[in-house]
Chains A and B, each alone.
Chain A
Amino acid sequence: MIAIDALLIAAGLWLTLGFIGLVKGRSLRFVGTVVFPLGALVGIAVGAVALFALGGGVETARLAIGLPNLPFHLRLDALAAVFLLLLGLVSAGISFYAAGYFSHDHGINLGALCLEYHVFLASMLMVLLADDAYAFMVAWETMALSSFLLVTTDHKHAAIRHAGFLYLLVAHVGAIAILLSFGVMTGGAGDYSFAGMRAQKLSPFWASIAYLLALFGFGAKAGLLPVHVWLPEAHPAAPSPVSALMSGVMLKTAIYGLLRVSFDLAGMTLWWWGLAALILGLATALFGVLYATVQSDMKRLLAYSSIENIGLVVVAIGLALIFHAYGMEALAALALTAVFYHCLAHAGFKSLLFLATGSVLHATKERSLGKLGGLIHRMPWVAWLALVGVLAGAGLPPLSGFISEWLLLQGFLFSPGLPQSWLNMTVPVAAAAVVLVAAMAGFAMVKFYGIIFLGQMREPALKDAHDAGSRERLGLFWLVLLTLLLGLFPGSIILQIDSATQQLLGKGLAERVIAQGWWLLAPISPERASYEPLVFFMIVTASVLLGGWVVKRLYHGRLRRSPAWDCGYHFQGPRAQDTAEGFSQPIRRIFAPMFRMQRHFPSLRDREPYFDVKVEDHFWYGLYLPIARLAARLSALVTNLQGGRIAVYLMYSFFTLILLILVARP
């Protein structure tokens, strides 16, 4: 009972801080030095409590608020604790950063923002603690509304209002599906607590309906295809710390929900559930990474990259479900560990990158990649800290993104042994697609980093850019630390999150991880697969240092500066560099059918020649606009019924009454 009370107090503290911020919102200094840093400390406390709860058992509580005779049931188990750990630690970094970021005047209503921000944090905490459908939906909707308000912070721009509307729409369509899924899982018994749902014995048909509804509902929040459209609009619209929170933490609550329903509440697992998630996840990941590589707005690029990462997580969930359905729990544990690990890793590095774009935006007022460049000279702190996030995002060893990819690929590799031979064969081919996604993520990350921070400054105004302040740096540094820890000590971290795997599958990776020593990651056995990130890191560092030292010792270190050679070409302005569009030209060309492209080339006689390319999403034109047109047509039909005259309406009532009397006559 200790941990769950502590978490409720933390939620209360966040709410209190939010209200204090609302009242004292006019004082930038107060908000920056008191409210947000205290919120960050609460976040660290949440992380610590979650870590403690991972070692302990299940705790439940009842919170007597809400409707009469309908208290909130709360429950803290290992699955919730993993995501609470993520929420606490990552939000701490973001809040530290926000303390610096919002202490400058951005021309926004800071008090309201402060309240929404902390309500958002508290509602995510409640989503993870909820143990009945009622509490879950209340927290879920609070989360959606507070984040909607945060997205539309800068609501004077029509584009931002539009993004907010789209977000709210998709969030609610998803919420309806989740509610229906809960309804199916109660089996008509009327008991909306999760315990009641677990006790229900559903038929495979109804369980599948519940699963598919949950996949759609949580998929809408996570940004799965084809309900991803809100994500690349909403993330860039929000202020950067909010984008970081949405991408790093909020998307993971959807993953939590999907895991909760499919492993815990549905009561059974069918193999094709896993296949559906696998295919959907792969499609999402490929789509996300392809679109990430062609973006020319830095925050949209990161938003599409989040879609890709969520896709990979769902692939891992699919794999875990397939293994679980066939009772291959050791492999399911491997895949599920990859799910948890990728959630943690992505939360760390993606928040870091979003915050870095915040600093860039702040220093340059510019988010189009075509107008940035060379910022490593003006913002060395942000540039070097962001490099860690970029390498992790590209899935490179020895950082965090690599570990989860490695675990996932090991899961794929040892899949032969599934009872169905065609499944046996398709699953490793899916691994090939995962590798393609990972390699293209590298392309997107090089583009992101190279164009923003390296090269010559594309605009003269960038010369005045300034580095991030100390509180912003602290937030970035905290997330870099998380990324490094996740990358270098996977054994210890898997040991911590293992109780969640055990809760869902009855089996974990812990025994094997302990047996091989904490520095060695060998999920099956060291002869079959092993990876020692710390040794790896030390060898690379040592050879870099040793190489540098030897070269310095043996040879003179003379160095002279001169203009770049560039094949002797002498027009070397910043315009000669690749733009974002130029950099992604190979992708647009190789994967041309995947994009909806509108290009304009100048003709010979153009007075003002210009080149233009517009890359859009097929889903808009193939799916959403037809739906929107259909809705418009239907509502036009309905309009005919509404003449606006009372007499006509009374006539409708009269006819309805007669109809009812005829039909319902006993």
Chain B
Amino acid sequence: MSATGFFGQLFALVLALLLAPLLTGWVNQCRAWLQNRAAPPLLQQYYLLHKLFHKDVVLAHGASPLFRFAPYAVFGCMLLASAIIPSLSTDLPLAPAADALALVGVFGLARVFISLAAMDVGTSFGTLGGRREMMIGFLAEPALLIVIFTVALIAQSTSLATIVETLAHRALNIYPSIAFAGLAFTMVSFAENARVPVDNPATHLELTMIHEAMILEYSGRHLALIEWAASLKLYAFSCLGLALFFPWGIAERDNVFALMAAVPLLVVKLAIGGAVLALIETVNAKMRIFRAPEFLGTAFLLAVLGMLVNLLLES
């Protein structure tokens, strides 16, 4: 482990913690502009976290220790996820701990914890949210893995660092499989991050909510951690998308200058990505819950198509 590697890793971690709420704030702002509403301040998410951390926790009768443990576990999983995705540099000492397949496992672990916590208090909404979340999960996970398989077949590796190095340094010929995989990945990340065609992050309407239904009983610091973890998840997915499909500008090993240059580039890429996300959310309507299998089934088919195209045409 080199010193630059260590500091690069630490820096990436701190940056993830700081940038994640900013990204959520930026998406919310863009959404408000596009919907002709007065936008909340860019730093609204930080104010929210600050407020929530200072509030008392109101814990439901009948909440078990699992309920109190889950926010920390979810937060830890998301922190690990954002640490191993090469957002700034491919020289990450933590990256060998988990490859792309294990990354999917990390998201799965967080999902299981939050669903179990949702079932813990024993309210009607909690269990409903838990089952819907698990449903979205088992539909989205295969599609996500096939996307990862497609790029892994091109790079001959499931290690994210190697994938980024291969993809960023190939000759600029066009891979049709990457286009299919990118489309599928976009659809999956909408579902995984509780975004509009599948879920609405701004609703508390019983019939439609998934993510919000699970966290209704959380308050105070627990809620703050879950909100932060949700921001981190969005950040991690954005960075994963950028690393797989727009890998240019991510620094190589032992290159401090490139690392410094990668930061503004990442911010710009995230800002554009966030604006596109808000645009897609605005022009789409929320689907019925049982349209979600169709939506994610399409994502899955696109991903499989991408993989087959890769095997047929590109190998």
Residues of A within 8 Å of B101, CB to CB, are 406, 409-410, 529, 531
Residue in B57, B76, B216 whose CB lies within 8 Å of A567: B216
Residues of B within 8 Å of A556, CB to CB, are 54, 56
In the complex, are the beta carbons of A454 and B122 less than 8 A apart? yes
Question: What size tier do the contact residues of chain A reach?
Answer: 35 or more
In the complex, are the beta carbons of B98 and A531 less than 8 A apart? yes
Residue in A436, A522, A564, A583 whose CB lies within 8 Å of B138: A436
Residues of B within 8 Å of A469, CB to CB, are none
Task: Kindly provide the distance from the CB of B209 to the nearest chain A CB, expressed in whole angstroms.
Answer: 10
Question: What size tier do the contact residues of chain B reach?
Answer: 35 or more
In the complex, are the beta carbons of A396 and B120 less than 8 A apart? no
User: Which of B149-157, B170-178, B194-202 binds A?
Assistant: B149-157
Q: Known A409-B101, A425-B308; judge A454-B108 contact (CB<8 A).
A: no
Within 8 Å of chain A (Cβ to Cβ): is B234? no
Residues of A within 8 Å of B290, CB to CB, are 586, 589-590
In the complex, are the beta carbons of B76 and A544 less than 8 A apart? yes
| C-alpha spacing A623/B300, complex, angstroms | 32
User: Which of B59-67, B242-250, B271-279 binds A?
Assistant: B59-67
In the complex, are the beta carbons of A574 and B122 less than 8 A apart? yes
Contact string, A430-451, partner B, CB cutoff 8 A, digits 1/0? Answer: 0111011011101101110111
In the complex, are the beta carbons of A376 and B64 less than 8 A apart? yes
In the complex, are the beta carbons of A450 and B57 less than 8 A apart? no
Residues of B within 8 Å of A589, CB to CB, are 290
Q: From residue 506 to 549 of chain A, which have CB atoms closer than 8 A to chain B? A: 520, 522, 526-532, 535-536, 539-541, 543-544, 547-548
* B interface SS class: helix
In the complex, are the beta carbons of A428 and B134 less than 8 A apart? no
Closest to B95 in A: A530
| C-alpha spacing A35/B76, complex, angstroms | 45
In the complex, are the beta carbons of A536 and B80 less than 8 A apart? yes
Residues of A within 8 Å of B123, CB to CB, are 564-566, 572, 576-577
Within 8 Å of chain B (Cβ to Cβ): is A610? no
Contact string, A411-438, partner B, CB cutoff 8 A, digits 1/0? Answer: 0011010000000110011011101101
Within 8 Å of chain A (Cβ to Cβ): is B102? yes
In the complex, are the beta carbons of B119 and A455 less than 8 A apart? yes
Q: Known A374-B122, A562-B61; judge A397-B109 contact (CB<8 A).
A: yes
Closest to A548 in B: B72
Q: From residue 199 to 218 of chain B, which have CB atoms closer than 8 A to chain A? A: 204, 206, 216-217
Task: Kindly provide the distance from the CB of B122 to the nearest chain A CB, expressed in whole angstroms.
Answer: 3
Residues of B within 8 Å of A536, CB to CB, are 80, 97-98, 102
In the complex, are the beta carbons of B57 and A560 less than 8 A apart? yes
Contact string, A561-589, partner B, CB cutoff 8 A, digits 1/0? Answer: 11111110100101011100011111101
Within 8 Å of chain B (Cβ to Cβ): is A2? no
Q: From residue 97 to 143 of chain B, which have CB atoms closer than 8 A to chain A? A: 97-99, 101-102, 105-106, 108-109, 111-112, 115-116, 119-128, 130-132, 134-135, 137-139, 141-142
Contact string, B152-183, partner A, CB cutoff 8 A, digits 1/0? Answer: 11001111001000000000000000000000
Within 8 Å of chain A (Cβ to Cβ): is B46? no
Task: Kindly provide the distance from the CB of A299 to the nearest chain B CB, expressed in whole angstroms.
Answer: 20
| C-alpha spacing A541/B285, complex, angstroms | 40
In the complex, are the beta carbons of B159 and A526 less than 8 A apart? yes
Task: Kindly provide the distance from the CB of B6 to the nearest chain A CB, expressed in whole angstroms.
Answer: 14
In the complex, are the beta carbons of B106 and A397 less than 8 A apart? yes
Q: Known A540-B76, A577-B127, A583-B131; judge A555-B61 contact (CB<8 A).
A: no
20 A-B pairs besides A451-B119, A539-B94 with CB distance below 8 A are A432-B146, A432-B149, A445-B112, A446-B115, A446-B134, A450-B115, A527-B157, A529-B101, A529-B158, A532-B98, A540-B76, A543-B75, A543-B80, A544-B72, A551-B53, A554-B53, A559-B220, A560-B57, A561-B58, A587-B135
Could you pull out 22 A-B pairs where Cβ atoms are within 8 angstroms?
A374-B122, A376-B66, A387-B66, A406-B105, A409-B101, A414-B156, A443-B134, A454-B122, A456-B122, A536-B97, A536-B98, A539-B76, A539-B83, A539-B94, A547-B225, A551-B53, A559-B59, A565-B217, A577-B122, A578-B119, A583-B130, A586-B290
* 8 A-B pairs closest in CB distance: A455-B122, A456-B122, A578-B127, A450-B119, A543-B76, A439-B138, A564-B60, A439-B141
Which residues does B use to contact A, with CB under 8 Å? 53-54, 56-62, 64, 66, 69, 72-73, 75-77, 79-80, 83, 94, 96-99, 101-102, 105-106, 108-109, 111-112, 115-116, 119-128, 130-132, 134-135, 137-139, 141-142, 145-146, 149, 152-153, 156-159, 162, 204, 206, 216-217, 220-221, 225, 290, 293, 300, 304, 307-308, 311-312, 315
